[in-house]
Structure 1
Amino acid sequence: MRSRLEAWLLEDLGSYDLTTEVLGIGGLRGVAQLFAREEAVVAGSEEAAEVYRLAGCGEVEVVKRSGQLARRGNVVLRAVGEARCLHAAWRTAQEVVAWASGVATKTRRLVELARRVNPRVVVAATRKTPPGLRALYHKAVLAGGGMVHRCCLSDGVLVFRNHLVFLGDGALQKAARAVAVRPAGVEVSTVEEAVEAAKAGFSYIQLERMTPEEVAEAAARIRAVNPRVVVGASGGIDEHNIASYAPHVDVVVTSAPYRAPPIDLGTEMAPL
């Protein structure tokens, strides 16, 4: 993550901070405070602190850690150093926290809505993150109380329709036999496929783009075949409908947190 933070810092800095150097204030010491302009679940504040350190600030305090609630006006991070270091870091650091906290805050909202109707349900975010932001966004999901469904392709076996099309007739049974050496999941889109997958021996069955009524029926029929199967629902699930899916499944899989807008933050500086 450090190398990525360095790249983001250099992207914003360019060759040098022309404004700070022209004004002749680069060597003056000061303090920068990152604060919330709206209530949010904080995420990425530790990474933002590292941005300030990379820019040369020797004193950096994380006031609100990832997972903590910041109310309007609360300070999230404080850094002390030369003005050239503060100005080099502040925009990158602020945006890291703004975007990550947006993801964390939306995740917390989804978890709250889902657990009102099913206290044991898990809200799991997909790997559909913007390229280059997966580590930060997955950390933000955890800060918001969610889980990561799969962090990458090597993180577990999950068979999609785009795998099954290459297996021909009896694809579900062939897939189940092929991956029998370890727990495996499969995504299906009909109640009949869900029952077939349960009989084939999959330990996790993900119900893709079904209505809540279809999910309820599929989950009941899966559990009648094997009550130990973990059942998930995915596809188009967001704040407006998560409460309709959560009562019927063990896991709600969603990409909705990644579509969250950034949190409104500000940074104020003062000389020392």
Structure 2
Amino acid sequence: MGQVVRIAIQKSGRLSEKSLEIIKNCGIKFGSDSRVLKEEASNFPLEFLYVRDDDIPSYVRDGVADIGIVGRNEFDEQAIDLEVIRDLGFAKCRLSIAVPNDFSYQGLASLEGKRIATSYPHILEGILSEKGIKATFVQVSGSVEVTPAIGLADVICDLVSTGATLAMNGLREVEKIYTSTAVMIGRKKMGNDEKAAILSRLLLRIDAVMRAASYKYVIFNLPEEHLDQVAGIVGGMKSPTVTRLMEKGWLSVQTVVAEDLFWDVFEQLKALGAQGILVTPIEKMTE
């Protein structure tokens, strides 16, 4: 039996769902029974461990898993000497300072000497120490929002999504201090050439899936006299693919456009007479 790479993934939740989705999009087949804590892919040398997210960095450090997918916030807070192999870009969240509604906040300096409740004291201390600010950290693992109301803390530092929970507890978000996304982590040396080769194959697939998600495939008809202008707008992997239509003076143009530029490009194409603009997602893509 050959080597397999063992990956630790959160056993449930949004991070787990997105992690498994990107692996499925790599063409890797595995079961979907949430009660299973360990399983192997059927068509790729990859074994899954489904565990608590805060255990993932230590599992990788100790060699229980070869790699793991975890929120950067969890990775940075534990400060374990591992490598970020890829920033996967999903599961975005922010770590913010929130204060009671009657607290006069004038920037991070307002935290000097205050008691701050947080689940991320290591990250917070690093940020405040860079500014020369000293505070007392009250470490809590859950329900951070309630601590000012019961007198445990003056302000809080917590992950925020909509801010609704803060408002329910008489707090308001005043400053974002840190952002997090999902990252793939591993030891700085895999220590096994066969496993390193498997990881390279996996990363090749993941990179293709991630790149594809950032682009759209666009096809449209265009008056021939505007081709040079359009080529300067859309570019493409190398240059647009152009085909003549039966109707004289018209071309069909195919190209790839970055997702974040698409609507600007769309408006410019319309202004140059483009018609029948068809936009489709891309499954996989390499340079």
- Higher strand share goes to which structure? 2
Name the structure, 1 or 2, with higher relative contact order (CA <8 Å, separation 6+). Answer: 1
Higher CA-based Rg: 2
TM over 0.5: no
TM-score by length of 1: 0.26
TM-score normalised to the size of structure 2?
Answer: 0.25
Greater percentage in helix: 1
